[in-house]
């Protein structure tokens, strides 16, 4: 897909509906399309994911939240089996489904925005992924910088991993999600945290560093100077929605087999193709 087109699509996707009504709308469309298993499957995945996160539990892995390309053909054929061509009832059903499909498609594609607005979850942190990450860390001391609400650290701590979660927490002043920390997070900016814990950790986790903000380059430079033996576990979209372009140019990707394993359960579910990278 051409970069300009992808950028336009992302902009459209990020126009999410209001959080309180999001799930209600999905439930309405699940009733509307109750006879179409492919659609119900996608909606049920979102509903279950939201249910778990709302209870402070890590969700399951998500499928790609896009309607099948042939869904209109599937619906047309289903209507044709029940109603003859020109039957007003069949025509009304077709009109109802045709009007609803674009709205449902937008809702499914907006799930990440709903998670950001409602829970402060930017990277989608699932239970299977945390299980893989815990096995990779294997008890070694770990520092998470820019931890946000702390979903990654909470998940790792549940696996009895030794994790220090840190964040400047400056966004609490402006963002409602700042009131929903899910685990203890020490108030430290990224560079201060690296300086404080430089002799105590073997892994540093940095997830969804802001697009175009050069803190990621400073983190990488600081780690190379003060934590040369530590590995940076970076979650983001290379040359895309996260980090700076210079960061990706400077990053040295290491351990491809372990990276592949970590990404088994960190799969994309929307237009943003973020992944796990191991960096030196």
Q: What is the pLDDT averaged over residues 57-62?
A: 96
Structure tokens of 73? 């053909």
Model confidence at 90: pLDDT above 90: no
pTM of this structure: 0.88
pLDDT of residue 20: 55
Measured distance CA(35)–CA(33) in Å, rounded? 5
Q: Name the residue among 127, 104, 132 with its Cα closest to residue 53.
A: 127
Q: Select 127-279's CATH number: 3.40.50.150, 3.90.470.20, 3.10.20.30, 3.10.180.10.
A: 3.40.50.150
Confidence at 177, pLDDT banded by 50, 70, 90: low
Torsion sign across C-alpha atoms 177, 122, 140, 198: negative
Q: How many residues are recorded in the chain?
A: 280
User: 241 with 272: CB under 8 angstroms?
Assistant: yes
Q: Name the residue among 244, 228, 171, 231 with its Cα closest to residue 205.
A: 231
Reduced to 3 states, what is the DSSP secondary structure of residue 20?
helix
**For the chain, how far is it from start to end, CA to CA, in angstroms?**
30
Sorted by where each begins, the domain ranges of the chain are: 3-119, 127-279
CB atoms within 10 A of CB 62: 19
User: 110 with 17: CB under 8 angstroms?
Assistant: yes
Model confidence at 12: pLDDT above 80: no
DSSP label of 210: P
DSSP label of 16: P
pLDDT of residue 83: 84
Tens of pLDDT, residue by residue over 224-275, are 999 999 999 999 999 999 999 999 999 999 999 999 999 999 989 999 999 9
Tell me phi and psi for residue 67, to 5 degrees.
-65, 145
DSSP label of 18: P
Query: What is the percentage of the chain residues whose pLDDT exceeds 70?
Result: 90
Model confidence at 171: pLDDT above 50: yes
Measured distance CA(65)–CA(264) in Å, rounded? 17
Q: What is the pLDDT averaged over residues 182-207?
A: 97
């Amino acid at each position: 897909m051409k970069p300009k087109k992808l950028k336009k699509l992302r902009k459209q996707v990020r126009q999410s509906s209001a959080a309180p009504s999001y799930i209600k709308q999905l439930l309405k469309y699940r009733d509307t399309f109750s006879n179409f298993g492919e659609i119900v499957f996608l909606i049920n995945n979102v509903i279950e994911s939201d249910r778990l996160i709302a209870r402070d539990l890590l969700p399951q892995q998500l499928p790609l939240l896009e309607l099948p390309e042939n869904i209109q053909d599937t619906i047309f054929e289903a209507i044709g089996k029940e109603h003859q061509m020109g039957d007003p009832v069949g025509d009304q059903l077709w009109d109802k489904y045709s009007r609803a499909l674009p709205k449902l498609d937008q809702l499914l594609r907006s799930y990440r925005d709903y998670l950001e607005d409602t829970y402060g979850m930017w990277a989608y942190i699932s239970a299977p992924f945390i299980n893989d990450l815990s096995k990779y860390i294997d008890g070694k001391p770990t520092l998470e910088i820019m931890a946000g609400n702390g979903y990654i650290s909470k998940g790792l701590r549940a696996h009895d991993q030794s994790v220090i979660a840190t964040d400047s927490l400056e966004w609490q002043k402006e963002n409602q999600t700042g009131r929903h920390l899910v685990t203890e997070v020490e108030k430290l900016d990224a560079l201060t945290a690296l300086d404080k814990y430089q002799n105590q950790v073997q892994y540093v986790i940095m997830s969804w560093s802001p697009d175009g903000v050069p803190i990621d380059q400073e983190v990488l430079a600081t780690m190379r100077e003060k934590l040369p033996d530590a590995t940076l576990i970076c979650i983001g979209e290379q040359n895309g929605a996260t980090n700076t372009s210079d960061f990706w140019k400077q990053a040295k990707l290491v351990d491809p087999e372990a990276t592949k394993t970590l990404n088994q359960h960190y799969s994309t579910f929307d237009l943003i193709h973020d992944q796990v990278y191991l960096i030196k």
